[in-house]
Amino acid sequence: MFNFVVGQNTNVQKKHAVTMKVLVEIKDSKAAFIMELLNSFSYVRTKPITPDKDEIMEGLKESMAQVALHKEGKIELGSARDLLDEL
């Protein structure tokens, strides 16, 4: 699976630039075509995501989900001391 971020810059007003970022997952066999297509638009900027960055992003998403569950009182998180003791 090939991951990349697509950024689109659109000037709504001269003073403010609006940017939207989209994460897209594409089969490796179609990645070159999609990258070429997106790069053909002057207002689209693409940036491939390395497998290491993808793994970090997935870990962060999981951590944020755990924090949300903790805030809702659905799970108990360990303390910083517990984390240090594991190391």
pLDDT tens column, 37-64: 999 999 898 988 888 998 999 999 999 9
Q: Using 50, 70 and 90 to split pLDDT, how confident is the model at 9?
A: low
Q: Report how far apart, in Å, the C-alpha atoms of 12 and of each of 16, 38, 78 are.
A: 6, 21, 46
